[in-house]
Chains A and B, each alone.
Chain A
Amino acid sequence: MSTTVDIPRFVRAKQVEALPPPNLARGPIAWVRENLFSGPFNTLLTLVVFYLLYVSVPPLVKFLFIDAVWSGTDRAACRADMGGSETGACWAFIREKLGYFTYGSYTVSERWRVDIFFALLAIGVGWLLWLKAPRRDLGAVYFFWLFPILSYILLTGGNSDFSGRFWIGFLIFGVLLIALFAFVAAILKTSLRPALIIAGGIVAVIGITLALMDIDFGLRHVPTSLWGGILVTLLVATVGIVFSLPFGILLALGRRSKLPIVRMASVIFIEFVRGVPLITVLIMANTMLPLFLPGDMTVDRLLRPLIGTALFASAYMAEVVRGGLQAMPKGQYEGAMSLGLNYPQMMILIILPQALRIVIPGIVNTFIGLFKDTSLVAIVGIFDVVKTIEASRIDPNWAAPTIGLTGYAFAALFYFIFCFGMSRYSLGVERRLAAGQKR
């Protein structure tokens, strides 16, 4: 357009300062008007909510912080008749019992081992959950193999003391397994090398695991009946996730299989477990499992609920993974097949990495459920966080009116921090994944 202007007209030479927005359309007052008092009904709602908050929040803050008792060595601090205060939470009780809530009755001089376990767990979880962490495949090996073995050795003291006969038996088993693989490879007329590598690998992994468990590291044996508190809660949850993820994947694959019996077996297992409450599974593991084992073979009391929760979680995990498998477009399967991959290769290399990625939020949500459900082991007499609190509550040294409430506040806080953290993480991943899908 031409820039020369010769027609006389009014042109403002300078831009006018923008007028301030009307007070009632922007700013805090308008926001309040818009969001809180936009009509009579809304105003009423706001007032009702304010009233509810006024009734509930100040007493809560007063109880938890202002009137709380922070230090003391026994119940006197939290009983009015003994000169203490009983209107607020008795945090002194939590401080005094924190060791018990964390380790249970775990031998005091050996508690550093539990601390190392916590650290190892944190490393594993961080490695796997931080999506940008280097070598997450190694992380998986660490979390699902090395970490369980190390934890076993650290917590129990290792030194399982297998007999010579056991090792001879294992040797025979190893040779037989390799022979079996070689034999199968021979009939199928495929090359021998991969078969031998797989068989050898299996034997080596089991062998190393058993050998590590057998070596005497000079750690004192700590029987599981002494374990308790946060240690047990985290342990049950960890075993649940370490076991339920692989087993859940297998179940999900089984449920999607074209082989009718495999599919039926998976469906029956999944639906059965999802149809009954966890507590009945735990009671079953406690009372029925010993009957199904030969005469004098017994299962550790802590191991039973571990098996129960792990099986229980696998069924839920299987449904989450199945969702991921179903969401995979058919082209992925067809593409993999057209490359000549066989079933395991197709699943391991193509389908599962993608399917598992999209269900990370679902997996984390299942894990949150599992983490909360670990509290149920308290009902079958395992000393997890809830049970240690219950047990401390009846300690006559701390008999005071606010002990129960304080204990539950502590438990609630403990679970809330973990579960809320995990749910935020899952939301974050969900958002990231969604961003990746957007064009």
Chain B
Amino acid sequence: MQTVVSQTSPPKKSILYDPKVRGVFYQVLLVAIVGYLFWIAATNAIENLQRAKIASGFGFLNNTAGFDISQTLIQFSAAGSDYGDAFVVGLLNTLIVSAIGIFFTTILGFLIGIARLSRNWMVAKVAMVYVETLRNIPLLVQLLFWYIAVLGPLPQPRNSIEMGAGFFLNSRGLFMARPVYTADAWAIPAALVIGLVGSFIYRRWAKAQQERTGRQSPVGLVTLGLVLGLPILTWIVLAIMGANPISFELPRKGTFNLTGGMQILPEFVALLLGLTTYTAAFIAEVVRAGILAVSKGQTEAAGSLGLKPGQTLRLVVIPQAMRVIIPPLTSQYLNLTKNSSLAVAIGYPDLVQVFMGTVLNQTGQAIEVVVITMGVYLTISLVTSALMNIYNRRVAIVER
């Protein structure tokens, strides 16, 4: 090691003391060590695979799967599908539970985050207890609680709980009516598109008018009316004309299960409940921090302009808080997506359960399967953080 004394002595012109040379040396050393470790691992792996006669390569993706999966968003059958299809099924199942989870957890998280700052003492305290409890208990325990303790004791299909409107609840999940479309059904999405376009045009007109005259228009109500009302109106009109575009197929009691209709697996429900309530606790904290980050002067200024508290929150505080909220919020979304892999503990067929579970066991090709699975999560997370960086650059405060 170099000591202080040696540095006070007159500098020697040795290349060993050139920081650049040293830098290169240490990096070469690092590369050599890492390379050596990789090389050892690779040669061992090759030797082990050969000795154990384990096949390698990605050809197995085209082999017939031979097993069934409980929830498939695409056509999947044991005989007609291959491991590649199983991968797609798992991936889609992961994505759908994550997407729906993100939707609900955002709503719940914002509500609780705002509630924590409520001036109503009861509301604030209850929100705090919620956050502290859910945050400090592992998600796995919560998932098992939902799946086994809450959804487990539901009645058998023969004694299903009838919730009306075609909804049934039993130990096999939630059953509901499935819409069956006729040839005329195209009119409804068409009405929806018209509604969307109409509301967009109205919104622009309303904004222009407000800038010109200062008068506000009921944008929200009109949009709601156009987007929801128009398709419903179309449906009613069609139904009156005798060409009902959508009929519903109700679940019926079969020998074992309810047949027909749509079924939502209890594993899905448990996972969704667990992910939503758990992540909401974290999002609530993010939202709270974001709102607290907006200086009080902003609220006071808004008040002195005559804005109502609701308007202040909506027009002044939230837009500024969003700047602080969005980056950590995205990382919570990513966490939710990654946490959905805990599905494996309760038997929901997500990517990890199907691919790293069944496919890995049936083929024995650990390396390929692990690489593919990790690659998927890595891609999701890298793409998200790339988008986040772009967003951050756009919203960054331009300082003088």
Q: Is residue A293 within 8 Å, beta carbon to beta carbon, of the partner chain?
A: yes
Q: Hey, which chain A residues are within 8 Å of B123, CB to CB?
A: 45-46, 49
Q: Is the beta-carbon distance between A274 and B381 smaller than 8 angstroms?
A: yes
Q: Hey, which chain A residues are within 8 Å of B381, CB to CB?
A: 274-276
Q: Is the beta-carbon distance between A404 and B2 smaller than 8 angstroms?
A: no
- Chain B interface, DSSP helix/strand/loop, else mixed: helix
From the candidates A49, A275, A283, name the one contacting B126 in the complex (CB within 8 A).
A49
Q: Is the beta-carbon distance between B138 and A375 smaller than 8 angstroms?
A: yes
Q: Mark A288-321, 1 if CB is under 8 A from B, else 0.
A: 1011111100000000000000000000000000
Query: Which of these binds chain A: B45-53, B217-225, B252-260, B287-295?
Result: B45-53
Q: Is the beta-carbon distance between B148 and A404 smaller than 8 angstroms?
A: yes
**With contact pairs A288-B367, A292-B44 given, residues A378 and B3 touching in the complex (Cβ less than 8 Å):** no
A278 to chain B, nearest CB (A): 8
**With contact pairs A379-B344, A415-B136 given, residues A194 and B3 touching in the complex (Cβ less than 8 Å):** yes
Q: Is the beta-carbon distance between A277 and B377 smaller than 8 angstroms?
A: yes
Q: Is residue B360 within 8 Å, beta carbon to beta carbon, of the partner chain?
A: yes
Q: Is residue A259 within 8 Å, beta carbon to beta carbon, of the partner chain?
A: yes
Q: Is the beta-carbon distance between A277 and B352 smaller than 8 angstroms?
A: yes
Q: Is the beta-carbon distance between A420 and B140 smaller than 8 angstroms?
A: no
Q: Mark B322-358, 1 if CB is under 8 A from A, else 0.
A: 0000000000000000110110110000001000100
Q: Hey, which chain A residues are within 8 Å of B157, CB to CB?
A: none
Q: Hey, which chain B residues are within 8 Å of A50, CB to CB?
A: 122
Q: How large is the interface on B (under 10, 10 to 19, 20 to 34, 35 or more residues)?
A: 35 or more
**With contact pairs A49-B126, A280-B373, A292-B45 given, residues A259 and B27 touching in the complex (Cβ less than 8 Å):** yes
Q: Hey, which chain B residues are within 8 Å of A368, CB to CB?
A: 136
Q: Hey, which chain B residues are within 8 Å of A287, CB to CB?
A: 360, 366, 370
Q: Mark A176-218, 1 if CB is under 8 A from B, else 0.
A: 0000000001011111001100100000000000000000000
Q: Is residue A335 within 8 Å, beta carbon to beta carbon, of the partner chain?
A: no
Q: Is residue A175 within 8 Å, beta carbon to beta carbon, of the partner chain?
A: no
Query: Which of these binds chain B: A4-12, A34-42, A66-74, A356-364?
Result: A34-42
Closest to A292 in B: B41
Q: Is the beta-carbon distance between A46 and B122 smaller than 8 angstroms?
A: yes
B295 to chain A, nearest CB (A): 18
Closest to A405 in B: B149
Report the Cα distance A344→B352, complex, angstroms: 43
Report the Cα distance A280→B353, complex, angstroms: 10
Report the Cα distance A387→B109, complex, angstroms: 30
A86 to chain B, nearest CB (A): 11
Closest to A47 in B: B122
Report the Cα distance A276→B140, complex, angstroms: 17
From the candidates A191, A405, A416, A420, name the one contacting B3 in the complex (CB within 8 A).
A191
Query: Which of these binds chain A: B6-14, B85-93, B228-236?
Result: B6-14
Q: Hey, which chain A residues are within 8 Å of B41, CB to CB?
A: 292
B312 to chain A, nearest CB (A): 15
Nearest 8 Cβ contacts at the A-B interface? A419-B136, A275-B381, A35-B121, A277-B338, A292-B41, A372-B138, A375-B138, A287-B366
The contact sample of 27 A-B pairs, CB cut-off 8 A, is A35-B119, A46-B122, A46-B123, A53-B126, A185-B1, A260-B27, A277-B352, A279-B344, A280-B341, A280-B352, A280-B374, A287-B370, A288-B370, A341-B4, A372-B136, A372-B137, A372-B138, A386-B138, A386-B144, A404-B149, A405-B145, A405-B149, A408-B141, A408-B145, A411-B138, A412-B142, A423-B135
